[in-house]
Structures are given as C-alpha cells and as structure tokens.
Structure 1
C-alpha cells in the first residue's frame, strides 16, 4: 500500500487553509523504521489540548505496536480535512461528523468515517457574562465570530431550528480562529463559534476575567456525534485490517487521555512546546463526558447506524441536505467501527 509522505500533507494544509501553526509533531519519530507503515494524520483543528490523544498514542507506542509510523500534522477544520484525505494528501484525519454528512450531501468525496471520537457534539456558541447573549433566544441580531465553513457555522441552522429562532437573523463574521477569544473579549463580536472544550482558552483571553456563557448545540441536539475518524474509501475497502488497527491504536490513546488529562497535556507539550498545560488539561477534563456521556455503555468509538440515519433525517428536515443525497453507507463504514 502506498501512503503519501506527511510533508505533502503539511504543504497541502498550508495551501488550502493558511495554517500557520508550528508543526512540532515530528519530535520523537520512529527514526525511519522500515518495518513500519508510514501514515500521515491530520488533527481536526490545530494542536489544541483536545487533540492530545493522537500524540498520546504516538508517545506511548500504540501506533508503533500496531505497525505504523505516524506523522501528526495540524488540521484546519472538517471541510479541509475531508478534502485533503480525499485527495490523498493525508491518510487519516479528524472531522465533525455532522459537518461531514452535510459536506458529503453536497459534494461526493471518496472518504468515509470509521469510528467516533465523541459520542456527543462539542459545537457551541460562546459569549461572556455581562454581554448581550445569555440564552439561545438572544442570538437573532447578534454578530458571531467564526471561521467560514467551521463546524459551528455549518451546523448553526440545525441548532437554530431546534431552539426556534430564524437562522438568517444571526450574522456570522468571518474571523481567523486563533484570534476568536481576543475578538470576543474586545467586544467586537457578541459571541464566537467554539467547541465547549475551548472555554478555558476563551476565559484566559479575557482581561476582565469574566466567565463564559456557553450555548452547546448538543443540549438541544443530543443525537449528534462530535468528531469522527476519517479515511479514504479505497483504504477502508482495500485494507480494512490496517484501518481497524490504526483506529484501535488511536482510541487507546483517547482512553488514556480521558483517564489522565494532565498526563496527556504534558505529552502534547512535548510535541507542541507552546502548549499551555493548564488550559490543555482543563480542555481534556471538559472533553471526557463527550467521549463517554453519562449512560453510555458502548465501546469507545462505536457507531450506531440508526443514529446516523436519524442525523441524516434531521439535516434533511432542516434543509441542510436534500432527501436522498446521502445514506448512512455513504458516510460511515460501520463494519470497521469498534463494537461493544
């Protein structure tokens, strides 16, 4: 099997989305061990604390034990990750599942998901105490900073429908992701699109030390998954055993991460030196109930086909995709996903 080198993936990420994050992910590489299959992997977005599980899997040798030499590069959002994986510039990536369904409902890309990182969506609108947003009903007429095409923006019409507000009455202001917390703190926008685990970073950026006001999409849309593991459809069909091994190794890193957030943050800092240990640790603590929500007793990473169909139906109902444009088989390889 021919895997493209990770350098190509990084160049493509830079070209598509202008990612300027420092790539320290080659630290501690497997020193070119020829017995290992070289694989390139994209995080869902940059190298925040929430992405630590891939670095944990690498540091603890889970990838190596599974037969892989994995190079981790920072992704730049679901849509770009999908395109890079589809084009062969990366072998695996992470992207929001609902945004993936929406994207594949509008354009056919040779990608599939093979497991869930989060059993519940992390997407949210985040504001600050004392501002003009306190509840979802405050959103009409407000300005929300977010990267165009982000999960939060793409999913907003679905959330708006669930809370009973007109989606077009809320204005999304195109804003570079690294500057979103400062943009909110300065009052230039009323809220920002953000994952719930980004709250520690938002609060740290505010000089007035205000608490965040969080409107999680998952509270109103509990069936939505969060991030999913993505690979090419030809990889899934032609090399299913390798896909399963990679997924298992990654999820082993995820389990360790939610078991020991501080330890995972320390590993992330080894690979990404500018990591704020406190912020990364708090992010991972917040992420745990989304990986294994209360009452969830299934296998880590599992996918429920009935739930996938329900998500598709909801997106059709919210006019985010057209009926018949996508089926569960188009977006997930359930036979490769973990099972209890």
Structure 2
C-alpha cells in the first residue's frame, strides 16, 4: 500500500507530461532566404530552448526571397515570417484584412541595391535607362524598383527587366547576360565571393538608400489572426529572439555553428563574415542607439509607407499601426543599442 502511494505521484507526472507538450503553441516561421549566417539567432533560440521556455514549438523553414514570405503568412501557410517590410506595406494597402503585421525590426538600414560590373558605364540610376537589369522574381529590391524609379527620377519603362534563378544572378552579371542585378547588398557581396568574384574589385553598387529611398527592410511579422489570438506567444517569441541576438553578439562562432547544424555544406568563415557584415551594414542604422533593436521610428516608417503607396499607386495608405505593432517588443533596457560583437551594449 505504501509503495502504491509513493508511485501514484510519479504516475500522475508521467500522465501529465504529454499534456504539457501538447500545451505548447506552434509557430511555423518562414525565413527570408536559404539558411545562412545572418539568421543565426533563430537557430540559437531554438537550440538553447529559449522558444520552448516561452511555451512555443517553433518550426523554421528556408525562404525564397525577402518578399515571398508575406503572401505565405497572409494565406495561412505560415504563422510568421522574416522578410521585407515594404512588401508587407503593399499588401496592407491592397488587402488590409489579410496582411500580416510586423512586430520586430531587424534590418533597419536599406540594403537594396543594383550591382553592376566595376567597368560598367552604369554609375547612377539614370544610367539604368536603355539597359537590361535582372533579379529573382521574389527579390525585395526588384519588387521596390518602381518606387525607386520614381524617387530617383528615372523612367522605369525604359529599363528591360529579366528574371533569373537566385543562384544564377552573379554569374549572369559577370557573363554579360544582364548589365545589372537587383538584390540586397550583403547577399550579392557574399554570393559573389562564393563563386570567386571579388565584390570590392569586380563590382560596383548603386544603392537605393543613396538616392532618397531610406526604407526599412527585413522585419519579423505574424499573421493578424495569430496576433489577435495568441498575443503572449508573439511576446514570448520576440523575447526568445532578442535573447538569442545578444548571445550571438557575445559569440558569433556559436551562432554560425547553429546555422551549420542545419546546412553542413556551408563554409563557416564565409558565414561568419556575412553575419558580421550584416550586423554592421544592414542592422546598425543611427536610430538604433535611440530606439534599441527591434523598434521603428514612427515618423520614418510613415514616410516609407507614403513613398511605397505613391510610387506604386496603391489604393490606400495604411496607418503606421496597421503595419507595425510595438506592443510585443521586449523592454527597452533588454534590447541592444549597438551591435558590436564581443562588445558591451
């Protein structure tokens, strides 16, 4: 009888364990691109149990371009995405009830560019006219080209656009099959290095941000339905990611190792270099010191929304709070103010 009494609590715990596992909220996340160094924090949060500690069961899939995740989350295929804010703005203007909502900004500097060969006669946006440019269909920079053309004062109708598979972008440029390629500057630089092209010697970049397009870029976003039904899960997800970002800042090699667990064929030195460059180039806008990682400046975002709406002749102008929800951010004191690996916040 005494043995039975001692075993009863153990049996109860065993019975409750599957229920606890079932209680975890499932989140299916689509990334911006194939697994790579600058996504390290998502995998660190998963491997170190930060998601699990927040009651979350998170599945992470590779992406197909920064603009591609927005319609996937809108359709319900994914719960959350990491991708282009401007694609989200466009969908919010066209189908506000379906559009996801951004909750944590990561790429606060505009990374959009057109890369040309170093000896190309293309030196400014005006030189695009009469030329053939190309990019993957879901590339964020290519999607923004009509907006950029209006801001930069060029006639987009005079530019021939061709699409190609992402893995052919740099080769087609070097072979002269196109005269310039759209993309994120970090993506192009490191894809070029991967195929033996020196981006500092062999390429030149016409950056959108240098010609008046000071837009936000890749952000974390969730389906509107999920935000309404599971606000604590969204808050927990961001807390886990923020914690993992700080871990990666302390130990970038650990972050890269987490990426290589998913894709062993990647080269660790190149992925680390890509991660560090992304932190410096794409994620360190001057407003970071004031706002902390994850937040946006509402006035700047409003200007971005107006630019995208006007340039693309969209049917409505979304309000800032329609496209970005500040409520789920970790406390300001917990979010990094500068992104210096190994340095103090």
TM-score (norm 1): 0.82
Q: Within 5 Å, which residues of 2 pair with 1:108-123?
A: 108=96, 109-123=98-112
Q: Which residue of 1 aligns with 2:88?
A: 100
| Of 25, 28, 48, the match for 1:40 | 28
How far 1:65 moved relative to its partner? 2.2
User: Quick one: distance in 2 between partners of 1:237 and 1:119?
Assistant: 26
- Any conservation in 1 of the 2:56–2:233 contact (CA below 8 Å)? no
Structure 1 pair 292–258 and aligned structure 2 pair: CA distance change class (3 A): farther
User: Quick one: distance in 2 between partners of 1:208 and 1:196?
Assistant: 13
Structure 1 pair 125–70 and aligned structure 2 pair: CA distance change class (3 A): same
Q: Which residue of 1 aligns with 2:241?
A: 250
1:227 is the counterpart of 2:218: yes
User: Quick one: distance in 2 between partners of 1:247 and 1:308?
Assistant: 20
- Any conservation in 1 of the 2:136–2:166 contact (CA below 8 Å)? yes
| Of 323, 327, 339, the match for 2:319 | 327
1:202 is the counterpart of 2:192: yes
Whichever of the two has the greater Rg, that structure is 2
Q: Which residue of 2 aligns with 1:19?
A: none
- Any conservation in 1 of the 2:32–2:68 contact (CA below 8 Å)? no
- Any conservation in 2 of the 1:196–1:286 contact (CA below 8 Å)? no
User: Quick one: distance in 2 between partners of 1:174 and 1:240?
Assistant: 39
How far 1:128 moved relative to its partner? 2.5
TM-score (norm 2): 0.81
Aligned residues: 308
Q: Within 5 Å, which residues of 2 pair with 1:39-118?
A: 39-108=27-96, 109-118=98-107
Q: Which runs of 5+ in 2 are unaligned?
A: 1-19, 333-345
Structure 1 pair 215–251 and aligned structure 2 pair: CA distance change class (3 A): farther
**Greater CA drift, 192-201 or 301-310:** 301-310
Q: Which residue of 2 aligns with 1:305?
A: 298
| Of 100, 119, 142, the match for 1:130 | 119
Tell me how large the CA RMSD over aligned residues is: 2.4
**Greater CA drift, 183-192 or 127-136:** 127-136
1:218-237 deviation digits (Å, cap 9, x = unpaired): 33346411111111112112
Structure 1 pair 36–227 and aligned structure 2 pair: CA distance change class (3 A): same
User: Quick one: distance in 1 between partners of 2:33 and 2:235?
Assistant: 23
Q: Which residue of 2 aligns with 1:6?
A: none
